[in-house]
Structure 1
Amino acid sequence: MKIKLITAVLLAVTLNCTASAGKNGFRYQDNTLHHTTRAYLEEAIKKSLSHSPEITTASADKDAAHYDIEQVKGQRWPQVQLGTTAPVASFGGGNHTGQRHLNDSNLAINVSTTIFDWGKNHESIQSATQSANASMYQYDYTKQQIAYNTVLELIDLSRYKQSQNITQQYVERMRELVNMLVKITQIDAGRYSELVQARARLLAAEATMQRVTEQLRQSEIKLSRLTGTTVTLPENIDWRMDFISSSLVISRLTEHPELLRAKAEANAAEHQSAAIKASSLPQINWVISKNTAKDSYGNDEQWYTGLNIQWNVFSGGSEKAMIQAASARAVASKSQSAQTRMDMEYQINNLIQSRDSAQTQTREYKKLSRETGAVSKIYYEQWLHLGKRTLLDVLTAENDRYNNQIAAVATEHDVYSANVKLIATAGMIFEWLPVNTR
């Protein structure tokens, strides 16, 4: 009678466990990005771009850089200066100048036009233009980074959500085993040690569930910061996508905003160095001036026009130091541009290898999870009906199955993350997802 009752309880639990394990199975398919997923990603990216303070900052820097060009260009035009003097009284010895009272106020005008400056203004304009180009590329790069971060975080959210579902099934399985053993020990107290083992595995599963839930919550917080809203991942989201080739990514590097920005900054530094060198040479200006002040005889001063030469012959070595510093910055900017290119090429090769390796591991883990699933079922039946397996064997098989399922989810999402990173490295985020960013 005891054996029949135990068998009936175990069979009922087995049927429930088998039914629940078949729900929400993890599938891998190899098609392109689904249109509903694409539409969801486009909407999320639009929210991130409109909410991002980084975009606002980059846009303001871009506008300021263009105003800097106008400021430098304005120095090519005649510079007009007005001044006035309002005497209150004159005192002391010497000849008076005819300006002793407030009524003797005068107005002075000075017009200065640069005739020859060894290319200083031209180089300054070119430097400001290249700096403006750099700020424009930085603006484009910031937009692409915001879009990339949003997509990457959504992939992580999907990873944690699937992990949470699998972990929840694992917790339920452990809980069912514990409940089953509680009923068994009420009939057969000699199997209490098995109940202790099952409870230990249940506690471990619940702790894992808490960790996965915290990862999911942190991902939701990051997405809320990116988009400015609470993000809910659709149940039918599908991350399958075409793989971008390494040759395409390498060919697009020359158009990447980060590299273009580095080159523009290097060019700006070179032009700035040339402008500083030119400023150390004599500058020839055409000057026109007039002062309404009267001389000691009460006569008005005449208009004056002529050439003016300015040359800082000695400045204590400061000009030489400025030239050397500007030249060093230009060399550093060029070196940084080359280093950025090398780093990106290394990153591309590393991502290609990681993506392909993760894809292989995903297939292996999926096969392994199916095999360990079959093993756990066989072990369970052998423990239940034949007594050929211990409960520890069953619990170990269940744990192996769970770990392989989690590893399959992790490696598959690693494939998606690496591919999206490659798309971003190629500067093709807005081609892959044609989002209107204007």
Structure 2
Amino acid sequence: MKFVETLKLSLLAGALAGLFCGQAVAGRCTDDVVPPPKSGAKAAAATPAPDTEAPLDPMTQLRLIAREAARRSAEVGAAKLLAEAADYDLEETKGGRYPQVSVSGTVGPGRTQVDGVTTQKGTQSNVSLNVSSNLYDGGRLNRLTEWRSQLAGSAKYGAAVTQEQVVLEAVTTALERNRFRLQAQVYQQYARKMSCLVEALEGIVAEDKGRASELVQARKTQAQTELSRDAALAQSRQIEFRLRKIIGDKLALGEGITVPLAAVPEIGEINRQIEFGNDAQQLRTQADAMESYAKAVVAGQKPQLNWALSKTEGLAGSAKVSSWQAGVSVSYSLFNGFSDKAASMAANKRAESARQQLAELLSSKFARTAEVYDIATTSLERAKRYVDVLRDSEKVRNFTFQQWSQLGKRSLFDVMSSEADHFGLRIAYVNALHDGFAASAQMRSLGSGLSVWLMPEQKP
């Protein structure tokens, strides 16, 4: 009976710690620190960041994750360089509006004959200055400028899309790290409970060999729980490696980054934002660019008028040579094998393709938004309901243990079942919360974007 009393006091000390208790309680069966079962922002902020004297607030941590991920990403850097290159392409096209000035020169021996009579011989040299500009091109240069401008806009939106993907990956990876860390804590508590039970049963079996099967069952459950804990720790480590690749080693994060994600944005507002999201705007500008290019091809088939002025100064032997010329040149293509028509049609087809891609994108995102919104709201609602279930589960396992240890009305297997059910509910609670947080982050990403929310100082 001494061992039974020891077992009873030890396990009851753990039970009195309360559901997800955050204070140390004496005894080997004390729960570790895990988030208390609260709903909304309180549930998200339940676990403090370890080893930090003054942890940053959750929103600041999320902003640091987003900024560091965007800063370190080579993919984002490459996309931004492409956007800058598109700006320079635009400047190159705009340069066609200005007069083109060039200078050329030659020097070397030469001879000039007229009717077999040498008129000039010896070293000849000259310098020419040429100036030319466009008078009329049917609007070709304007259309090309529009084309380049729209391509530059598309490249900027593309860079924003790439950054959004990187930021979303960083945030969801941080959430997954927290998920498995909390799972490992729950499994560790479960393992401690089983260890306490095994230790007590070892003493009981030493006095009563007929209860050896109970000890075997407790050891089996303890081993299974330790395997689950080790698996969660391994998952947490592997995700930590991925997170370090994304944001580096210098950024120390706490566990409470989920607080801002506890509020799910309204689906109507997200749907309005989808219409003008970076990916939608990218496809629109691509379509507009192709239409402008098609118009530039058509304009290029109209008469092209240019004016030119040239001045040449030189020496032919000892004679000084000087000349100048000014005039207007006209060019017009009579037949080019219908290549202009083919180029224009190809550009129009690409524009129509981009329009259809935009329609499909919007349709898919509207459907995806409804799905993700449902996941977010139902997951967080399910987490709230788990709170009540966990309170009842705590009572059930305490009553079951008391009936087994004091009244002998329950078997050890009933005790083990109630413990397994209780800790299984705690794992389900952690998963429901993080499913909701991840869906909330995806909702914001589907709209104007996490980058706009976390880095409002950056504009596409």
TM-score, structure 1 as length reference: 0.86
Secondary structure at 1:303's aligned position in 2? strand
Pairwise CA distance, 1:316: 4.4
> Cα 1:262–1:238, aligned 2, differ >3 Å: closer, same or farther?
closer
Q: Deviations over 1:42-96 (max 9, x none)?
A: 3333333433334433332232222111100111222234334445567999969
> Cα 1:433–1:81, aligned 2, differ >3 Å: closer, same or farther?
closer
Check whether the contact 2:40–2:380 (CA below 8 A) recurs between aligned residues.
no
Check whether the contact 1:289–1:305 (CA below 8 A) recurs between aligned residues.
yes
> Cα 1:233–1:183, aligned 2, differ >3 Å: closer, same or farther?
farther
Is 1:124 the equivalent of 2:144?
A: yes
Residue 366 of structure 1 aligns with which residue? 387
Residue 73 of structure 2 aligns with which residue? 52
Structure 1: segments with no counterpart, 5+ residues: none
Check whether the contact 2:163–2:451 (CA below 8 A) recurs between aligned residues.
no
> Cα 1:80–1:22, aligned 2, differ >3 Å: closer, same or farther?
closer
Secondary structure at 1:252's aligned position in 2? helix
Provide the C-alpha distance between the structure 2 equivalents of 1:15 and 1:105, rounded to a whole number of angstroms.
108
Aligned pairs for 1:107-186 within 5 A = 107-186=127-206
> Cα 1:185–1:415, aligned 2, differ >3 Å: closer, same or farther?
same
Check whether the contact 1:46–1:437 (CA below 8 A) recurs between aligned residues.
no
Residue 6 of structure 1 aligns with which residue? 3
Check whether the contact 1:31–1:242 (CA below 8 A) recurs between aligned residues.
yes
More divergent stretch after superposition (189-198 vs 301-310) = 301-310
More divergent stretch after superposition (86-95 vs 159-168) = 86-95
Check whether the contact 1:277–1:323 (CA below 8 A) recurs between aligned residues.
yes
Number of residue pairs matched by the alignment: 434
Provide the C-alpha distance between the structure 1 equivalents of 2:333 and 2:113, rounded to a whole number of angstroms.
36
Check whether the contact 2:139–2:299 (CA below 8 A) recurs between aligned residues.
yes
Is 1:191 the equivalent of 2:211?
A: yes
Secondary structure at 2:57's aligned position in 1? helix
> Cα 1:235–1:124, aligned 2, differ >3 Å: closer, same or farther?
closer
Letter in 1 for 2:61: Y
Q: Deviations over 1:202-254 (max 9, x none)?
A: 22111111121122223322332232234443356562643321111122233
Provide the C-alpha distance between the structure 1 equivalents of 2:424 and 2:152, rounded to a whole number of angstroms.
52
> Cα 1:136–1:431, aligned 2, differ >3 Å: closer, same or farther?
closer
From 324, 331, 340, give the equivalent of 2:345.
324
Check whether the contact 1:134–1:262 (CA below 8 A) recurs between aligned residues.
yes
Residue 40 of structure 2 aligns with which residue? 30
Provide the C-alpha distance between the structure 1 equivalents of 2:355 and 2:430, rounded to a whole number of angstroms.
43
> Cα 1:97–1:129, aligned 2, differ >3 Å: closer, same or farther?
farther
> Cα 1:430–1:320, aligned 2, differ >3 Å: closer, same or farther?
closer
Residue 442 of structure 2 aligns with which residue? 421
Greater fraction of residues in strand: 2
Secondary structure at 1:370's aligned position in 2? helix
TM-score, structure 2 as length reference: 0.82
> Cα 1:185–1:112, aligned 2, differ >3 Å: closer, same or farther?
same
Secondary structure at 1:123's aligned position in 2? helix
Residue 273 of structure 1 aligns with which residue? 294
Q: Deviations over 1:171-211 (max 9, x none)?
A: 11122222222222222222222222222222211111112
Is 1:308 the equivalent of 2:329?
A: yes
> Cα 1:113–1:376, aligned 2, differ >3 Å: closer, same or farther?
same
Is 1:288 the equivalent of 2:309?
A: yes
Check whether the contact 1:160–1:215 (CA below 8 A) recurs between aligned residues.
yes
Check whether the contact 1:98–1:295 (CA below 8 A) recurs between aligned residues.
no
Check whether the contact 1:351–1:422 (CA below 8 A) recurs between aligned residues.
yes
Q: Deviations over 1:360-409 (max 9, x none)?
A: 32223333333333333333333333443333332222222122111111
Q: Deviations over 1:404-430 (max 9, x none)?
A: 111111111222222222223221646
From 370, 380, 383, give the equivalent of 1:349.
370
Check whether the contact 1:144–1:427 (CA below 8 A) recurs between aligned residues.
no
Check whether the contact 2:125–2:315 (CA below 8 A) recurs between aligned residues.
no
Check whether the contact 1:273–1:326 (CA below 8 A) recurs between aligned residues.
yes
Check whether the contact 1:97–1:294 (CA below 8 A) recurs between aligned residues.
no
Letter in 1 for 2:286: E
Pairwise CA distance, 1:122: 0.3
> Cα 1:405–1:422, aligned 2, differ >3 Å: closer, same or farther?
same
Residue 106 of structure 1 aligns with which residue? 126
Q: Deviations over 1:319-376 (max 9, x none)?
A: 3332222121111112222222222211211111111221232223333333333333
Secondary structure at 1:233's aligned position in 2? coil
Provide the C-alpha distance between the structure 2 equivalents of 1:318 and 1:277, rounded to a whole number of angstroms.
11
More divergent stretch after superposition (419-428 vs 123-132) = 419-428
Residue 406 of structure 1 aligns with which residue? 427
User: Please, what is the CA RMSD of the aligned residues?
Assistant: 3.4
Structure 2: segments with no counterpart, 5+ residues: 18-29, 46-55
